Amino acid sequence: MIMCDVERLYKIFRQLYHADPVIARAPGRINLIGEHTDYNNGFVLPAAIDKSVYVAVSKRSDNEIHLHAEEYNENYIADIENLHQSKFHWSGYVLGVAEQLQKRNCPLTGFNMIIDGDLPLGAGMASSAAIECAAAFAFNELFELELSKLDMVKIAQKAEQDFVGLQCGIMDMFTSIFGKKDHVICLDCRSFEYEYYPFKQDGVKIVLLDTSIKHSLASSEYNTRRRQCEEGVAIIQQHEPEVQSLRDVNMSMLNKYVAHNTIIYNRCRFVVEEIERLVDACKDLQLNDIAAFGKKMYATHTGLSKLYEVSCKELDLLVDLVRPDRSVIGARMMGGGFGGCTINIVKTDAVEELIYNTRNAYRDKTGMNLNAYVAVIGGGANIMEELMHV
- Cα dist from 371 to 211, 278, 323, whole Å: 7, 28, 19
Q: Which of residues 129-188 bind ligand GLA (CB under 6 A)?
A: 168-169, 171-172
Question: How far apart (Å, rounded) are the C-alpha atoms in residues 174 and 314?
Answer: 28
Q: List the catalytic residue out of 38, 116, 172, 210.
A: 172
Residue pair 331/344 in contact (Cβ under 8 Å)? The answer is yes
Q: Is 336 in the site for ligand GLA (CB under 6 A)?
A: yes
Percent helix, strand, coil in the chain, to 5, is 45, 20, 35
Q: How far is the CB of 171 from ligand GLA (least distance, A)?
A: 5
**343 neighbors 30 (Cβ within 8 angstroms):** yes
Measured from the CB atom, the residue of 38 and 210 that comes closer to ligand GLA is 38
Return the residues of window 48-87 that contact ligand GLA according to CB under 6 A: none
As measured in angstroms, the least distance from the Cβ of 169 to ligand GLA is 3
Instruction: Report which of 94, 102, 86, 26 is spatially closest to residue 65, judged by C-alpha positions.
Output: 94
Site for ligand GLA in 309-328 (CB under 6 A): none
- Return the number of the residue (335 or 339) whose C-beta is nearest ligand GLA: 335
Q: How far is the CB of 277 from ligand GLA (least distance, A)?
A: 13
Q: Is 81 exposed, middle or buried (0-12, 13-18, 19+ CB in 10 A)?
A: exposed
Length of the chain: 390
> Minimum distance from CB of 379 to ligand GLA (Å)?
20
Round to whole Å and give the CA distance between 329 and 290. 7
**Pick from 82, 78, 87, 100: nearest CA to 157:** 100
Q: Which is nearer to ligand GLA, 170 or 236 (CB)?
A: 170
C-alpha 313: how far from its chain's center? 21
Q: Which is nearer to ligand GLA, 76 or 222 (CB)?
A: 222
CA distances from 170 to 38, 39, 257, 287, 318 (A): 6, 7, 29, 28, 27
Binding mask 36-55 for ligand GLA (x = CB under 6 A): x-xx----------------
The answer to whether the CB of 49 falls within 8 A of the CB of 377 is yes
Q: Would you give the distance in Å from CA 198 to the centre of its chain?
A: 20
Closer CB to ligand GLA, 36 or 267, in the complex: 36
Q: Rule CB under 6 A: say whether 126 interacts with ligand GLA.
A: yes
Please work out the total of residues on this chain that contact ligand GLA, with binding judged by CB under 6 A. Answer: 11
Taken in order 205, 314, 268, 176, the sign of the CA dihedral is positive
Cβ nearer to ligand GLA, comparing 40 with 91: 40
Pick 169 or 339: Cβ nearer ligand GLA:
169
Residue 384 contacts residue 6 (beta carbons within 8 Å): yes
Task: Please say if 20 is a catalytic residue.
Answer: no
Question: Cβ neighbours of residue 15 under 8 Å, at least 6 residues apart?
Answer: none
Write the interaction track for ligand GLA spanning residues 20-39; mark x where CB under 6 A is met and - where it is not: ---------------xx-xx
281 binds ligand GLA (CB under 6 A): no
Cβ 3 to ligand GLA shortest distance, Å: 29
> From the CB of 127, what's the least distance to ligand GLA, in Å?
10
Q: Please, what is the minimum distance in Å from the beta carbon of residue 243 to ligand GLA?
A: 20
Q: Which of the residues are catalytic?
A: 172
Which spans of this chain sit near ligand GLA (rule: CB under 6 A)?
A: 35-36, 38-39, 126, 168-169, 171-172, 335-336
